Amino acid sequence: MGPGGEFDLIRKLLGPEQDLPPGVDVGPGDDCAVLEGGLVISADLSMEGIHFQRDWLTPEEVGYRATAAALSDLAAMAAEPLGALVSLALGSVGPGPSTSPGAGDEAGLTVADSAALAMEVQKGADAACQREGIRILGGDLTRSPGPLVINVVVLGRAGSPVLRTGAQVGDEVWVTGWLGASRGAVRLWERGEIPTGKLRESFALPRPRIREALWLSERVPIRSLIDISDGLAGDAGHLAAAAGNAVVLEETSVPAHPALAAVLDPGEDSALFSLQGGEDFELCFAVPPNTLDEWVDPFQDSFAIPLTRVGEVA
Amino acid sequence: MGPGGEFDLIRKLLGPEQDLPPGVDVGPGDDCAVLEGGLVISADLSMEGIHFQRDWLTPEEVGYRATAAALSDLAAMAAEPLGALVSLALGSVGPGPSTSPGAGDEAGLTVADSAALAMEVQKGADAACQREGIRILGGDLTRSPGPLVINVVVLGRAGSPVLRTGAQVGDEVWVTGWLGASRGAVRLWERGEIPTGKLRESFALPRPRIREALWLSERVPIRSLIDISDGLAGDAGHLAAAAGNAVVLEETSVPAHPALAAVLDPGEDSALFSLQGGEDFELCFAVPPNTLDEWVDPFQDSFAIPLTRVGEVA
């Protein structure tokens, strides 16, 4: 039941969708719940020691990353963000991140230490919100007996939310951006090295593809949409499972991140590495054949990331 | 920065309210944020070892209590509940609760153990939702390196949300129900005893006063409203601070819970104990003089709990 297994267990836990109460259009199982009127809402819990290690990230990066990950669920519905609620639990502090070697070991925090730490995390969460034009609306703050915990709930609005369920046989499957850099950063940390540049950024400061999703949904009849948080191989499978069909990925067309060259072992396949790579927060979506081609260049001009056809629905 | 100190620190963290973005009527600092159209939202994070001990509560009670506590923030705005999002992190498990001595020590959970534990917690959360006629709309589920963590976000709607800020000098201050039983239960656990009956129930299965708040707000011009989560003394202070005045409590009129008799030390004052007692989740509110008296009996007839005048705004 690691981060990757949550999807299936949540569905099992929360029961069938058919008994949704009045006022709820989509319940558990998609990226967000959808209420009457197009209000969408989603929660994302990040846990020290599971989703990140404290010596990998600064407190500000912890806040930014958790919030960006939650906002990515709005992108996965093609929703406009309205606001976020950030709940935080913190207590003991491990060694500082490797990029600030002076931080030392700070176990046994005073209230002032905790407040300062909370404000750093909050600053990062705020920055991720501000990038999308929203604010933190509230939240909770409490002591933790150990790990730092941050839960971010995002609220948005979608005129016509794009679900996971609409893919049809013959649809093309596309992804935004490059994949695998976040997994590449984790590999470096696990080797005792410190990722920098694009590799670090893709793990520590990921960019939810909210504007990209809105842009695409205004121009192309997107049939189903998901954000890549478990790796393309896993999430394309979720897309297929939700629609009751299968996605055939073409490994040779996977857009492996160029910065991976510095990470891979000799002879290791970058496409395979990227397919199984964790939290890219890029979008994966299905469109009817030949509906997207004309928009590939305008998309790249607008957002400076590629749009790549990676397979089809079978 | 224990549970009680969160209020002040959150306010400090989240900055002044004057720069609320468009579409946000009330930001951080009240019990819920309020969006245009009367949508209210609040988050509540409960942490093992801080808000509860695992050997005090069954997993189902953990879920019920955390959800009821979050729902109580809707009562504090006189809002109708719409739904909840429940995020859960769990991993290692301590000894079972004292009421099931056969549970033993279950450290080193398998995935099946974790799923079973998660479903128990979820069942309790569901029960608290169903009591208010709502459902769990979504959430998150992940592994924890240690403590059980549950974050509950509640969504509601309020035609005219009652804030903390409206109390005026001369207003009467009232509370619903009896106070102190939750603190009484904690004292018993801390003594190594096991609370039962009303004492246990008030800690493990608290009742958010949602219907009571709606009933009152339809009949009485409530000027300000808060739920009692830090003890009446603390929360009446929050009410006063929000309005820029003071609340004078009459200690002799505090409705100490009858079940406290079994808990107090010889000579200990039940009113004083109740004033400082933790999470009662009763309501504390201010009304103009002589506007509530005629409703005291009808309220008690409807809800079978008292309504007590405990002081005034000075």
As for the ipTM of the complex, it is: 0.83
Assign residue B103 a region (left: φ > 0; alpha: ψ between -120 and 50; beta: otherwise): alpha
Radius of gyration of chain B (CA): 19
The H-or-E segment that residue B136 falls in is: strand B136-143
A-chain CB neighbours of B10 within 8 Å are 138-141
Determine the Cα–Cα distance for residues B308 and B62; give it in Å rounded to an integer: 30
Q: What is the mean pLDDT of residues A178-190?
A: 95
* Low-confidence winner among A47-51, A100-104, A272-276, B296-300 (lowest mean pLDDT): A100-104
Q: What is the mean pLDDT of residues A257-263?
A: 93
pLDDT at A5 over 60: no
Å between A279 CA and nearest CA of chain B: 15
Determine the Cα–Cα distance for residues B251 and B228; give it in Å rounded to an integer: 16
pLDDT at B27 over 60: yes
3-state secondary structure A240-275: HHHHCCCEEECHHHCCECHHHHHCCCCCCCHHHHHH
Q: Where are the alpha helices (DSSP H) in B94-253?
A: 111-131, 181-190, 197-204, 210-219, 232-243
pLDDT range class, residue A145, cuts 50, 70, 90: confident
Judged by CB atoms closer than 8 Å, whether chains meet at B136 and A89 is answered as no
A-chain CB neighbours of B20 within 8 Å are 135
A196-226: pLDDT as tens digits:
999 999 999 999 999 999 999 999 999 999 9
Radius of gyration of chain A (CA): 19
* Low-confidence winner among A16-25, A168-177, A218-227, B127-136 (lowest mean pLDDT): A16-25
pLDDT at A20 over 80: no
* Mean pLDDT of chain B, nearest integer: 86
Cβ A195 vs Cβ A188: under 8 Å: yes
Determine the Cα–Cα distance for residues A265 and A283; give it in Å rounded to an integer: 27
Q: What is the pLDDT of residue A14?
A: 52
Determine the Cα–Cα distance for residues B78 and B159; give it in Å rounded to an integer: 9
The H-or-E segment that residue B303 falls in is: helix B296-303
Q: What is the pLDDT of residue A305?
A: 96
B-chain CB neighbours of A9 within 8 Å are 115, 118, 141
Phi, psi (deg, nearest 5) at residue A198: -60, -35
User: For the stretch A25-38, what's the b/e string if a residue is b when 16 or more beta carbons lie within 10 angstroms of its beta carbon?
Assistant: ebbbbbbbbbbeeb
Tokens 């009949």 appear where? B219
DSSP-derived pairing of the beta strands B149-157 and B39-47 = antiparallel
Of B12, B14, B136, which is closest to A14 when you measure between CB atoms? B136
Closest-approach residue (CA) in chain A for B141: A6
Q: Which of the residues B151, B152, B154, B155 would you substitute to probe the A interface, choosing the one with the greatest number of A C-beta atoms within 10 Å?
A: B151
Closest CA to B313 of B252, B223, B232: B223
Of B41, B47, B87, which is closest to A138 when you measure between CB atoms? B41
**Which is it for the CA torsion B94, B99, B101, B102, positive or negative?**
negative
Q: What is the mean pLDDT of residues B53-70?
A: 94
* Low-confidence winner among A26-35, A81-90, A158-167 (lowest mean pLDDT): A26-35
Of A6, A24, A138, which is closest to B43 when you measure between CB atoms? A138
Q: What is the pLDDT of residue A97?
A: 44
- Identify the DSSP state of A209: -
User: pLDDT > 90: what percent of chain B?
Assistant: 59
Å between B25 CA and nearest CA of chain A: 10
The token pair at B208 is 């958010």
Higher-confidence position of B94 and B285 = B285
- DSSP per-residue string spanning A222-242: --EEEE-SS-HHHHHHHHHHH
Output the CA–CA distances (angstroms, integers) from residue B74 to A103, A287, B213, B228, in the order listed.
Answer: 41, 41, 9, 13
Closest CA to A73 of A25, A41, A38: A41
Output the CA–CA distances (angstroms, integers) from residue B253 to A204, B235, B238, in the order listed.
Answer: 55, 17, 20
Closest-approach residue (CA) in chain A for B112: A1
Judged by CB atoms closer than 8 Å, whether chains meet at A43 and B88 is answered as no
Closest-approach residue (CA) in chain B for A31: B138
* Low-confidence winner among A233-242, B11-20, B35-44 (lowest mean pLDDT): B11-20
DSSP-derived pairing of the beta strands A39-47 and A33-35 = antiparallel
A-chain CB neighbours of B87 within 8 Å are 43-45, 151
Spell out the residues 6+ positions from residue B244 whose beta carbon is closer than 8 angstroms to its own: none
* Mean pLDDT of chain A, nearest integer: 86
> End-to-end CA distance of chain A, in Å?
29
E strands, A38-169, where?
Answer: 39-47, 80-90, 136-143, 149-157
Judged by CB atoms closer than 8 Å, whether chains meet at B33 and A118 is answered as no
Determine the Cα–Cα distance for residues A135 and A131; give it in Å rounded to an integer: 10
A-chain CB neighbours of B43 within 8 Å are 85-87, 138-140, 151, 153
pLDDT range class, residue A101, cuts 50, 70, 90: very low
Partners of A308 in the beta sheet? Answer: A175
Q: Which of the residues B26, B60, B143 would you substitute to probe the A interface, choosing the one with the greatest number of A C-beta atoms within 10 Å?
A: B143
B181-223: pLDDT as tens digits:
999 999 999 999 999 999 999 999 999 999 999 999 999 999 9
pLDDT at B98 over 80: no
**Which is it for the CA torsion A244, A248, A253, A255, positive or negative?**
positive
DSSP-derived pairing of the beta strands B80-90 and B136-143 = parallel
The token pair at A239 is 């897309």
* Low-confidence winner among A25-34, B56-65, B115-124, B256-265 (lowest mean pLDDT): A25-34
pLDDT at B8 over 70: no
Q: What is the pLDDT of residue B29?
A: 73
